[in-house]
């Protein structure tokens, strides 16, 4: 018989084999194995019946009150069988002779009374009534112990009075002991399997976490796996903002509480903040209350445990019933349209630094329990119910508490997640440092290149300046040398040499002044004083200034001014106009010079109108190719121009810089050589930039 | 040494006139002024020129349709058998050392002097020396 029982490691098979073997051995009407639930109730989990005299109770539940606690204690303490012979109304405990005891035993009695005194006594009338109601005349009950706890009962019921020989009783007792061993082994197997399953999940997740795929995908997948592994309804992984990323990150999967876009995430709420908020303390390693272990027992059916709605075990927090958690009250409405009833929060922290948290949701479930007979759980029934007809009790919205297995698994996942997140942050940090260094290097390169370019420009400018100064200087010195050495033949020649030397020196001063102007603008030391300028009046003055030249060369100067006023630096505007008009007169031999001024809409900034001033001549014009370079220092369209027309080669450069200082633009148009030139510049009708330093 | 035929190539009339006068009066040489490439080549080939003072900056000068500088003209003279023997002194306002050496290399000229010429005695000595070398060869 024991061999048959030991053939399997699967508990259900063992128990089925046991009841079948015991039934055929004892020949009674019904053999059942009754298993206690953590709440004290119990279920018939294996049964063998014979002859049909007693109904099957397979799968039915019996309320906790059916077997009083003193009876249970007695089973543990006596570790013996109970034989009730209903007709003789005698309960026989074990082998010893009875000591008569009329009063029901209390728990204290069991602990204080010597075992011999409680072994045989009259049957509790209530129990007698109970058995009678079940149609049982003979009952044999043998406790099945597991880890010194009452795990269940092996029960034989017979519709007729029945006597058992001592030998038979010993054999059945032995079977029960073997069942205990089998349960222990099976439990071990279950634990080992659960552990293996857990490790498999952890391995998968760990592999994922170090896979070369984007971290977002990894975290999302890990979250999905974690939720699936604990049979959750949904879950979320919340990662807090940190020095590397200013945004919090939230990954979600499955069922979620309702969150409107305007609302902060759940994790901003006080419940989550106690783990990840600034006030969050480090995990407390408290001893686990044995009750909590019960609450977490995978096999328990919850009834009385609703009070154990929240347990903080080590570093994570589980809420079996969110409706009972005061800190969740504010977010209760968000869960209203969901079936979420339990949740588990696993804070992720690296040392003292909270990184975020993993939250798993679990739905409420509907339970369906078949009771052996209807009873009222609210009323302590002193006596036996009359019927053991199956009573199905359907309960909706029952909480499904978290099990130790699940908690262990999530804790491991949490640890791996923490490491992965930290690793990613470190990697990111390192990468950002590297990018920063690269950026600094490239900035330095740009700075060096531009410094080199500036240095080259400066050196080019210096070289040009030196060249431009040396030519008039050479002339001056030549004639001074002639004068100094007295190398002139007559007073006219003397006068001529003196005049040439004087003119050359004067030209030198002009060039030096222009160079100083440009240097000043480029050094940013030329300030602009905006004021309201009467343009009509200023153009009138220019007309007066150039009238002698106009008359002398026979070139008409026409002024067409459509603008009364504009905002500009008067001194600089006058310098620009004089420069442009001097150029126009210089390069025009016949025809006329026209100055036009009008207000224009600024196409790129319609709200900022500009004043446009143009100087058009009928002079030598310019090829397309030289048009833009004319504004560069010392560039003249043609080197011969200086000798033919004079000038420093800096006039247009200065005009351009001055116009730009006043937030304007300047450009040159010419149909071609010999066809005249128009130089146009714009200035804001009113200043939109702060008058001040240029650069 | 005096009475040399000096060809002064410069397109700045006023400056050239002063320079020519000083060389004539201080060194006793004959100085002709021109800025026309064809004229330069013609005079040099005619064997009447002892030395050339060549301004580098000749913006209007063209030879065979291309703009040429004084350094280009010197190079042409130095690479033509008929004119290669004539000493050439480049005259330039580009005073920087980094600008001078490339000009000498390009032109194969014998010497370079920087504008403004502040000591005509030095220039005259240079002219003498180059012409002496030439005649003693």
CATH number given to B5-132? 3.40.50.2300
Please list, in sequence order, all residues whose beta carbon lies within 8 angstroms of the beta carbon of residue A629, skipping any fewer than 6 positions away: A635
Instruction: List, for residues A186-200, the tens digit of each pLDDT value.
Output: 888 888 888 888 888
Whether residue A97 is predicted with pLDDT greater than 50 in this model: the reply is no
A232 in the same domain as A361: yes
A560 backbone dihedrals φ, ψ, rounded to 5°:
-125, 95
Please report whether residue A515 resides in a domain.
no
Predicted pLDDT at B88 = 96
Between A301 and A463, where is the model more confident?
A463
Chain B neighbors of A479, CB-CB under 8 A? 18
Radius of gyration of chain B, Cα coordinates, nearest whole angstrom: 14
Predicted pLDDT at B137 = 61
Measured CA to CA, the distance from residue A604 to residue A610 in angstroms comes to 11
Task: Tell me the average pLDDT across B41-65.
Answer: 90
A661 in the same domain as A541: yes
Please report whether residue A60 resides in a domain.
yes
Mutation to test the B interface, candidates A464, A467, A470, A474, most B Cβ within 10 Å = A474
Measured CA to CA, the distance from residue A663 to residue A683 in angstroms comes to 7
Query: Contact, B40 vs B104, CB < 8 A?
Result: no
Task: Tell me the average pLDDT across A612-616.
Answer: 94
Q: Where are the domains of chain B?
A: 5-132
Whether residue A106 is predicted with pLDDT greater than 70 in this model: the reply is no
% of chain A residues with pLDDT over 90: 16
Please report whether residue A66 resides in a domain.
yes
Please report whether residue A380 resides in a domain.
no
% of chain B residues with pLDDT over 70: 97
Predicted pLDDT at A564 = 86
A223 in the same domain as A183: no
Q: Which domain holds residue A250?
A: 211-367+395-425
User: Rounded to 5 degrees, what angle do the CA atoms A239, A242, A246 make?
Assistant: 90
A253 in the same domain as A141: no
- Cβ separation of A463 and B114 shorter than 8 Å? no
Predicted pLDDT at A637 = 53
User: Rounded to 5 degrees, what angle do the CA atoms A437, A443, A448 make?
Assistant: 125
Whether residue A107 is predicted with pLDDT greater than 70 in this model: the reply is no
**For chain A, how many structural domains are there in total?**
3
A219 in the same domain as A180: no
The residue among A532, A651, A529, A491 whose CA lies nearest residue A584 is A651
Q: Which CATH number fits the domain that encloses residue A590?
A: 3.30.565.10
Q: Which of A148-157, A282-291, A388-397 has the lowest mean pLDDT?
A: A282-291
Mutation to test the A interface, candidates B10, B12, B18, B26, most A Cβ within 10 Å = B18
- Cβ separation of A463 and B99 shorter than 8 Å? yes
Between B48 and B128, where is the model more confident?
B128
Whether residue A549 is predicted with pLDDT greater than 60 in this model: the reply is yes
A306 in the same domain as A168: no
- Cβ separation of A478 and B117 shorter than 8 Å? yes
Measured CA to CA, the distance from residue B121 to residue A630 in angstroms comes to 40
Chain B interface includes A639 (CB < 8 A): yes
pLDDT band at A134 (very low <50, low <70, confident <90, very high): confident
How distant is the Cα of B86 from the closest Cα of chain A, in angstroms?
A: 25
Q: Which of A115-129, A216-230, A529-543, A659-673 has the lowest mean pLDDT?
A: A115-129
How distant is the Cα of A430 from the closest Cα of chain B, in angstroms?
A: 48
- Cβ separation of A638 and B59 shorter than 8 Å? yes
How many contacts, defined by CB atoms under 8 Å, are there between A and B?
A: 73
Whether residue A683 is predicted with pLDDT greater than 60 in this model: the reply is yes
A46 in the same domain as A156: yes
Strand A82-85 relative to strand A61-62, pairing: unpaired
Chain B neighbors of A640, CB-CB under 8 A? 11, 59-60
DSSP annotation of A25 reads H
Question: What's the mean per-residue pLDDT of chain A?
Answer: 78
pLDDT band at B71 (very low <50, low <70, confident <90, very high): very high
Predicted pLDDT at B35 = 92
> Across A265-389, where does the E strand assignment appear?
310-313, 316-319, 340-350, 353-363, 365-372
H/E element, A550: helix A535-553
Whether residue A105 is predicted with pLDDT greater than 50 in this model: the reply is no
Quickly count: other Cβ atoms within 10 Å of residue A625's Cβ: 8
A645 in the same domain as A528: yes
Q: Which of A356-365, B90-99, B104-113 has the lowest mean pLDDT?
A: B90-99
- Look-up of token digits 């009364």: A564
Predicted pLDDT at A641 = 53
The residue among A558, A585, A684, A670 whose CA lies nearest residue A624 is A670
A168 in the same domain as A94: yes
Measured CA to CA, the distance from residue A658 to residue A518 in angstroms comes to 9
Between A392 and A517, where is the model more confident?
A517
Query: Contact, B130 vs B86, CB < 8 A?
Result: no
Q: Note the pTM of the prediction, 2 decimals.
A: 0.47
Instruction: List, for residues A371-385, the tens digit of each pLDDT value.
Output: 777 665 554 455 556
Tokens of A668: 């040159």
Measured CA to CA, the distance from residue A32 to residue B123 in angstroms comes to 136
A253 in the same domain as A112: no
Whether residue A116 is predicted with pLDDT greater than 60 in this model: the reply is no
Instruction: List, for residues A472-492, the tens digit of each pLDDT value.
Output: 899 899 999 999 999 888 999
Query: Contact, A501 vs A479, CB < 8 A?
Result: yes
Question: What's the mean per-residue pLDDT of chain B?
Answer: 90
First vs last C-alpha separation in chain A: 105
H/E element, A536: helix A535-553
pLDDT band at A70 (very low <50, low <70, confident <90, very high): confident
Instruction: List, for residues A297-355, the tens digit of each pLDDT value.
Output: 444 434 333 334 334 444 678 888 888 888 888 888 888 888 888 888 888 888 777 88
Measured CA to CA, the distance from residue A10 to residue A182 in angstroms comes to 9
A290 in the same domain as A169: no
Please report whether residue A258 resides in a domain.
yes
Between A90 and A190, where is the model more confident?
A190
Query: Contact, A1 vs A17, CB < 8 A?
Result: no
Query: Contact, A681 vs A576, CB < 8 A?
Result: yes
pLDDT band at A561 (very low <50, low <70, confident <90, very high): very high
ipTM of the complex: 0.87
Measured CA to CA, the distance from residue A540 to residue A260 in angstroms comes to 71
Whether residue A146 is predicted with pLDDT greater than 80 in this model: the reply is yes
Please report whether residue A514 resides in a domain.
no
pLDDT band at A560 (very low <50, low <70, confident <90, very high): very high
Q: Which of A385, A410, A425 is the last residue of a domain?
A: A425
DSSP SS3 for A279: coil
Q: Which CATH number fits the domain that encloses residue A273?
A: 3.30.450.40
Instruction: List, for residues A617-647, the tens digit of each pLDDT value.
Output: 998 888 777 777 777 766 655 555 555 555 6
A216 in the same domain as A181: no
Chain B neighbors of A638, CB-CB under 8 A? 59-60
Q: Which of A423-427, B47-51, B117-121, B124-128 has the lowest mean pLDDT?
A: A423-427
Between A550 and B134, where is the model more confident?
A550
pLDDT band at A262 (very low <50, low <70, confident <90, very high): confident
Measured CA to CA, the distance from residue A635 to residue A631 in angstroms comes to 7
Instruction: List, for residues A239-254, the tens digit of each pLDDT value.
Output: 888 777 678 888 999 9
Please report whether residue A490 resides in a domain.
no
Task: Tell me the average pLDDT across B96-100.
Answer: 77
Please report whether residue A508 resides in a domain.
no
Query: Contact, A344 vs A318, CB < 8 A?
Result: yes
Of B93, B95, B118, the CB nearest to A477: B118
């Amino acid at each position: 018989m024991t061999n048959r029982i030991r053939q399997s490691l699967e508990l259900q098979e063992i128990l089925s084999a046991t009841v079948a073997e015991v039934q055929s051995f004892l020949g009674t009407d019904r053999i059942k194995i009754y298993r206690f639930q953590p709440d004290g109730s119990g279920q018939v989990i294996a049964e063998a019946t014979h002859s049909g005299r007693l109904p099957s109770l397979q799968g039915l539940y019996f309320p906790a009150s059916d077997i009083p606690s003193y009876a249970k204690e007695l089973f543990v303490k006596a570790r013996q069988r109970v034989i009730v012979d209903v007709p003789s109304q005698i309960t026989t405990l074990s082998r010893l002779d009875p000591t008569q005891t009329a009063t029901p035993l209390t728990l204290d009695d069991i602990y204080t009374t010597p075992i011999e005194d409680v072994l045989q006594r009259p049957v509790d009338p209530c129990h007698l009534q109970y058995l009678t109601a079940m149609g049982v005349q003979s009952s044999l009950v043998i406790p099945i112990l597991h880890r010194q706890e009452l795990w269940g009962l092996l029960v034989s019921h017979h519709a007729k009075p029945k006597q058992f020989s001592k030998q038979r009783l010993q054999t059945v007792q032995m079977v029960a002991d073997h069942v205990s061993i089998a349960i222990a082994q099976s439990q071990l197997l279950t634990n080992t399997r659960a552990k293996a399953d857990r490790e498999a999940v952890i391995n998968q997740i760990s592999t994922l976490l170090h896979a070369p795929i984007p971290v977002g995908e990894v975290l999302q997948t890990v979250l999905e796996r974690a939720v699936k592994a604990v049979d959750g309804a949904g879950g979320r992984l919340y990662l807090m903002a940190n020095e590397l990323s200013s945004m919090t990150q939230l990954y979600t999967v499955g069922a979620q509480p309702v969150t409107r876009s305007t609302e902060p995430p759940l994790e901003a709420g006080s419940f989550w903040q106690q783990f990840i908020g600034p006030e969050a303390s480090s995990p407390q390693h408290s001893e686990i209350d044995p009750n909590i272990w019960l609450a977490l027992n995978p096999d328990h059916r919850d009834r009385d445990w609703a009070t154990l709605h929240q347990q903080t075990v080590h570093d994570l927090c589980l809420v079996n019933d969110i409706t009972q958690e005061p800190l969740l009250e504010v977010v209760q409405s968000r869960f209203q349209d969901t079936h979420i009833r339990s949740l588990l929060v696993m804070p992720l922290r690296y040392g003292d630094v909270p990184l975020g948290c993993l939250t798993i949701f679990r739905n409420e479930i509907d339970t369906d329990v078949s009771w052996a007979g209807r009873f009222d759980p609210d009323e302590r029934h002193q006596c036996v119910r009359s019927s053991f007809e199956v009573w199905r009790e359907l309960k909706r919205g029952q909480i499904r508490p978290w099990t130790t297995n699940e908690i262990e698994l999530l804790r491991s996942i949490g640890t791996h997640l923490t490491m992965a997140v930290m690793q990613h942050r470190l990697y990111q940090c390192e990468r950002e440092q590297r990018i920063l260094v690269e950026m600094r290097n490239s900035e330095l390169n740009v700075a060096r290149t531009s410094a080199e370019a500036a240095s080259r420009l400066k050196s080019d400018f210096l070289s040009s300046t030196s060249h431009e100064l040396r030519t008039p200087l050479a002339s001056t010195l030549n004639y001074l040398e002639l004068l100094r050495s007295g190398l002139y033949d007559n007073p006219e020649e003397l006068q001529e040499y003196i005049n040439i030397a004087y003119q050359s020196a004067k030209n030198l001063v002009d060039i030096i002044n222009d160079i100083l102007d440009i240097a000043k603008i480029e050094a940013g030391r030329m300030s602009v004083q905006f004021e309201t300028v009467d343009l009509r009046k200023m153009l009138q003055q220019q007309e007066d200034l150039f009238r002698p030249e106009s008359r002398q060369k026979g070139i008409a100067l026409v002024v067409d001014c459509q603008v009364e006023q504009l905002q500009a630096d008067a001194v600089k505007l006058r310098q620009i106009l004089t420069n442009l008009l001097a150029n126009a007169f210089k390069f025009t031999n016949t025809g006329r010079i026209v100055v036009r001024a009008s207000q224009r809409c600024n196409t790129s900034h319609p709200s900022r109108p500009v004043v446009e001033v143009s100087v058009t001549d009928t002079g030598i014009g310019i090829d397309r190719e030289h048009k833009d370079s004319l504004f560069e220092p010392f560039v003249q369209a043609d080197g011969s121009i200086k000798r033919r027309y004079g000038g420093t080669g800096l006039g247009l450069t200065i005009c351009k810089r001055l116009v730009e200082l006043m937030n304007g633009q300047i450009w040159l148009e010419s149909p071609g050589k010999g066809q005249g030139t128009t130089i146009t510049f714009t200035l804001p009708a009113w200043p939109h930039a702060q008058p001040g330093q240029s650069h | 040494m005096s009475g040399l035929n000096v060809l002064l190539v410069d397109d700045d009339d006023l400056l050239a006139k002063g320079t020519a006068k000083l060389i004539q009066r201080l060194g006793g040489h004959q100085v002709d002024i021109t800025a026309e490439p064809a004229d330069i080549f013609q005079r040099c080939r005619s064997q009447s020129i002892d030395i050339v003072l060549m301004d580098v900056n000749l913006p209007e000068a063209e030879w065979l349709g291309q703009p040429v500088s004084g350094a280009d003209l010197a190079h042409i003279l130095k690479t033509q058998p008929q004119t290669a023997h004539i000493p050439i002194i480049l005259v330039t306002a580009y005073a920087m050392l980094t600008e001078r050496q490339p000009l000498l290399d390009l032109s194969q000229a014998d010497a370079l002097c920087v504008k403004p010429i502040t000591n005509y005695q030095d220039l005259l000595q240079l002219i003498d020396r180059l012409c002496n070398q030439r005649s003693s060869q």
